[in-house]
Structures are given as structure tokens and as C-alpha cells.
Amino acid sequence: EGIEPKYRRILLKFSGEALMGEANYGIDPKLVQQIAQELQELNRIGIEIGLVIGGGNIFRGAGLAAAGMDRVTADHMGMLATVMNALALQDALERLGVFCRVMSAIRINEVCEDYLRRRAIRHLEKGRLVIFAAGTGNPFFTTDTAASLRAIEIGADLLIKATKVDGVYSADPMVDPNAQFFPRLSYDQVIARNLAVMDATAIIMCRDHSLPLRVFDMHKVGSLTHIIKGEDVGTLVSR
Ligand code: UDP
């Protein structure tokens, strides 16, 4: 139907804050619904979609540890927070009729499937959207790193990171009006300039496996479809 996708299999990363909306904690069902609708459209045209969601709208390990909690316990709580977000999104997708599975890096079998790479790929091939929950399953990592790891594992053509601004800037454009926008960057530029794209571990994994990364503004409805068509939306990080 007029859409000639450039990418067949993508991995999309949302931070937990993406589900929060105007609130400062938790999940806004309206936003979850909105994200689910955009994903439904991509699923309908046959794009294979893996999703990684953060947990920062509920708990972040570093924040809890700064308040005195044991870091590993705090990270376990952060990972469980991503499972809750994943369940919310799965629910919204299923209500739209999109087949969807949550696969967790931590075993919680009463709640969702375990992450098994081969099974994840099989789900994608059958047109099911897969939400990868609980990050990498290890403390001291982030969901950015989980996103690059899962993208590489499932052989995604593109890693897409949804943010609140329309790409990568030399400084935070919400704070510094002179911040310079970068339509394209190399992995090494991102690392050398310490640009706030994804954490360094995630960027280095993308670089070492030549996985292109696009950063875009999730508030602009329809952007994902443009990206899938190969249009220049946001910032592309590649070789
Ligand atoms: N986390 C972890 N290992 C992982 C991924 C996440 O321990 O592989 C924990 C960590 O405490 C992190 C929290 O889960 O702060 C939520 O993830 P993240 O901060 O990446 O979420 P986002 O900022 O994207 O919402």
C-alpha cells in the first residue's frame, strides 16, 4: 500500500519515561495506547518489531543506590520495573489485535516467557511483536545496552532509539538554544564527543557489529513509518 520498507526487522528502544507523559512517575495509559497504535501500523505492513523498554519511570538502580540501597538489589528492582512497562504495552497491543509476546531476561514464568533467542526469532517470523523485558538480566547494565544486544542477537537491520528531542545535538537543546543538530554521526564521533545518544557500552556494541542506529522524536506521530521507508528523520549514527 504505497510503503516500500527499507528495513525488514527493527529493534525499537523506548525509555520508561516515554510511558509516563506529563506525570513524574508511572504509566499514562493514553500514551501507551498511542505508542501501541504506531506499532500496530508497522506490524500491519509486515515489519518485524522487537522492543526494549526502560524502567526509569518507576525505578532506576543508580538512583536507589544513591539513596543508600545495595546496587545489585536496586538494579534488580529496575529490571523488574521494565517488566511492568512491558506488560502494559503488551496489553495495549493485544487490545488492538496485535499478537505480542513479552520475553524476560529474568525468569518470571507466571508472568511472561523467558528470553530464548531462537524462540524470539520464531515469534518475529510469525509476525508477533516481541517485547524484551528485564534488560540484559544483569545488574550494572542499562536498557540501552540491552537494546543493542538484542538487536544484534536477532539480526535487526536498524536500532531505533525514541527520545524527547528530534535527534542528537551538541548540547541539550531544551537548555542551550545554540545547541547544534547533527543529522549524521559516526560511532566514534558519538564516543569522542561524549554525546548523549545511548550509553557508551551500547554505542560500542553497535560500532563493533556495524549496526546502524537512528535517534528520533517519539512525539512526532508518523515518524516511525518515515524511518522505515528510509527517510532522513532525526539522526543516523553509522560508519
Ligand atoms: N537494569 C539493569 N540491567 C539491565 C537493564 C536495566 O540492572 O540490563 C536496571 C537498572 O537499574 C536501570 C533500570 O533497570 O536503572 C531501568 O533501566 P534504564 O535506566 O535503562 O531505563 P530507562 O532510562 O531507559 O527508562
**Predicted confidence pLDDT, tens digits, the chain (239 residues):** 567 889 999 999 999 998 998 888 899 999 999 999 999 999 999 999 999 999 999 999 999 999 999 999 999 999 999 999 999 999 999 999 999 999 999 999 999 999 999 999 999 999 999 999 999 999 999 999 999 999 999 999 999 999 888 899 999 888 999 999 999 999 999 999 999 889 999 999 999 999 999 999 988 888 999 999 999 999 999 99
- Within 13 A of 93's CA, how many CA atoms are on the CB side? 26
* Closest to 93 measured CA to CA, from 35, 133, 150, 135: 35
Look up the pTM and report it: 0.96
Tell me if 40 sits within 8 A of 129, measured CB to CB. no
Residue identifier of the C-alpha nearest atom 21 of ligand 1? 54
CB of residue 21 inside a 6 A radius of ligand 1: no
CB of residue 142 inside a 6 A radius of ligand 1: yes
CB of residue 50 inside a 6 A radius of ligand 1: no
The ipTM estimated for the assembled molecules is: 0.98
* Closest to 180 measured CA to CA, from 193, 169, 172: 169
* Closest to 141 measured CA to CA, from 197, 201, 85, 196: 201
Instruction: Give distance in angstroms: CA of 220 to centre of ligand 1.
Output: 25
Q: Which superfamily, per CATH, for 9-238? A: Acetylglutamate kinase-like (3.40.1160.10)
Alpha helices of 137-198 — where are they, by DSSP H? 143-154, 187-192
For a substitution probing ligand 1, which of 69, 142, 201, 215 has the most ligand atoms within 8 Å of its CB?
A: 142
